[in-house]
Structure 1
Amino acid sequence: REKSQCILPVMASADLLDELTCAICTDIYRDPAVTVNCGHSFCHECITSTWDNQEKRKYFCPECLGRFRVRPLIKRDLKVSNITEKHVLTEPTALRENWKCCVHRKVLEYYCLEESVFICVSCSLAGEHRGYRVETLNEASEKKEKLRNILQKLTSQREEAEKSVQSLEELRRQVQEKAAGVTERVTALITNIREQAETPEKEALSEISRQEEQVSLRVSDLIRQLEIKKEELSRKMGDIEELLTRWHVSMDVNTASNYVSVSDDLKTVSWSEMTQSRPETPERFQDFHQVLSSSRFSSGRHYWEVEVSESGWWVVGMVYPTIERRGDQSAIGINSVSWGLGRGWFNNQYSVIHDSKLIQLPHSSSGQRLGILLDYEVGRLSFYELCDPIRHVHTFTAVFTEPLHAVFGVYRYNSSVRISGILCPLK
């Protein structure tokens, strides 16, 4: 399907838009016609249909309510038609707050993440983008602005590194020039006393060469380190630029248990004492407080981050879509189709579970942020605690044979998990 983005600029005067609107269908004129007697304009189809439904000899104008004994003749208003066509083709305004939807003529306030187009609130709630993941233009602008600021800082750092390389190159050149000058002067001096002291000449030249080599090696090492730093900065800049077009992972409320609450932005799941009264469907978890991600992964390397509650009992991990949705086998890790890391079985200790095998890890939780790295082809699922420094917690190894969904479980009061970082397909 083609992207249906259409930005209609706000006209310089609201009166012009009123003059181009049909009083019957309240839409922009389509093939306008004009009544003979009163001169008001309507869509040809609208006025014809209206008069077809009126009684003979009781025709009236829907605009001014003027009555006619005989059905008036109508003719095309070429001037209004030309203005209407030009109105639709007007160049978009540069001010975002003046952008309007050409379908609903409402200000474009949202950005559709799935279609990559600007839309109005009617497109999101009742139009062709209904049910799609959207975010406000301010949110999208703020995220991009932050990434651009980081990119600008990294650019400055790379420029500084390049300047340092140039300075060291110049220093090395100056050292070489000075060494050459010293060599020349010493050679001239030794020439005068060659007959008396050939040995001191050789020793002096050797010492000069040794010192030159040492200085050159040190400068070369510094240049090599700065080149490595410059390459690293370039790589980070490329990653930041790629992040500007990355997409977000969210939770699939259609799989959420009725005893978990999912936030409006589909990023947070928390334990709920009251039932959410969602319809009972085959994909919904019935017996355990869990929810799946809307995205699934069948190849590549992917990374995302979550924030977990300090208290309660929570589990995060990956599952095949074939996991049971009711009964004991529907819990994370109590089967061969799911892998999970959690906290709550043994107080503040991390534990991992797969195929009903629960292992208590020696690590105590020291933070609330976790990084999750999936390498599908290699068959690795790794968890990292995002403290200072970052700490590796555990890695599962397996041969993945089905697509994988991220899964989030909250099993006790005050338990919650929030997706805090964007989902990044890695190179």
Structure 2
Amino acid sequence: MASADLRQELGCSICLNIYTDPVMLRCGHNFCRVCIDRVLDTQEGSGGYSCPECREEFQDRPALHRNITLRNIVETFRSTQTDQQETEIFCTYCIHFPVPAVKSCLHCEASLCDNHLRVHSKSPEHVLTDPSTSMEKRKCSVHRELLKYYCPADAACICVSCRLVGDHQGHKVEMLDEAAEKKTHKLRNVLQKLTAEREETEKRVQSLQEDMINVQEKSSGLTEEVTNLFRDLRRQLEDLEKRVLSEISRQEAHLSLSLSDMIQQLEIKEEELAMEIDDIEDLCNMTDPLTVLQESDTWDLCDTEHGDNEDRERLDELLHDGRSLDVAGISHTLHTGVSDMIKEVNACYNIQEAADILLDVNTAYNNLQISDDMKTVSRSDKKQNRPETPKRFQDYSQILGSRRFPSGRHYWEVDVSNSEWWAVGMCYPSIDRRGKKSYIGDNRKSWGLYRYYRSCTVMHDSYKIRLPYNISSNRVRVYLDYEAGQLSFYDMCDPIRHLYTFTTSFTEPLHAALWLGDGGSIKISGGN
């Protein structure tokens, strides 16, 4: 009722609707701006103006003052009314103003406010419920009677007539409250399961979000680290370039000076020889024997030949010692500088080459043949008659590497070009050597990458994951980051393709592990 009273107070006396842009006359009455403008327009030319509410007269057209306070009240009321109309059910019998209903009568199919509820019939056929707009749904569509029972056989709500003479005659039925309680119990169980599943999903989402944040943070840190590393490498390369070019320039200047000096000496020698040749030719052209014999005392041909040999030997020695750049020395400087940078990269990322991996013949299955260099393994139908030891695999054609990896970062490669059916991986030394659990990847102590005729699979603890692509090159790289708990596999195609990464916490040293399923061979090699 308070809502109706307030609405009446907020109504414009001209249009009888709630105020729109309310304005106030000098007499204090309020109207919609459009409404009062229209009234004043009709009064224009009549010799005066008057308020439609109190009839107070104005000689001049009155100014309209916006009533901001009233406008705010109206806007608040409108928003409240909108919410009520969306959420409340109003009394069917309050036709002048909307009044919220407190009950609905299923028999009358009407909603009642407090006032109308007091005078409503109390007879049994008038069934009162919470306010509802769907009272028609509470009656049987066939018999137009109230629905009172639930038939589990047909999963339908029925009336008394349906139970006695209708399609549900003879069916076991339940009261609506009882059936609803049973269904509510089932729904609660479902709700409990769904809630638990949602919580588990939320935890997984949160975990994945944390993983994503960790990946982003690690990516950011690694990006900064690599950027700084390459900046330092570029600086070192520039310094090395300057040092090598400076050495080339120095050698060039030194050699050029020596060669210029030798050229100058030879040019002087050439001029001297030319003059001597001219004198000798003049002497040879003389016809007076006496003059020839007298002049010949000024040349000693033996001394000249001896001097020429000494000069030639000295020049040849100079040319031999310094007529070419020291390419070997320059190459050594380049190689040393680049090697130092590579060592710096390896030290920065703790990368250790696994060049010393050899196959351990004491672990080899007896049908496996091992090459003399302990690098290549092949399968044969002929048993090798090796002594049976606790380390030897008894049921699968497998072999381990002899080197232990208790820490650090390492990589090694396998040439698989001569086999179509193989596995590479790593395992703990405590892996079983006989039985099903001795198979690489079929236990918690080993991790393997398998290829079965154009199909690749990774396996750990008997759980297999089929990869979407096959190996496209002839080499597979295995990369171990022990402290990070990561074991990764790569296809050494161009560019290198990541195949899969196992993530765990290693608890024992690791050994390289190989399995061969056909008559081919595979070769293990160290990192480059």
Per the shorter chain, which TM-score range? 0.3 to 0.5
> Larger relative contact order (C-alpha < 8 A, sep ≥ 6)?
1
Relative to the length of structure 1, the TM-score reads 0.43
Select the structure of larger CA radius of gyration.
2
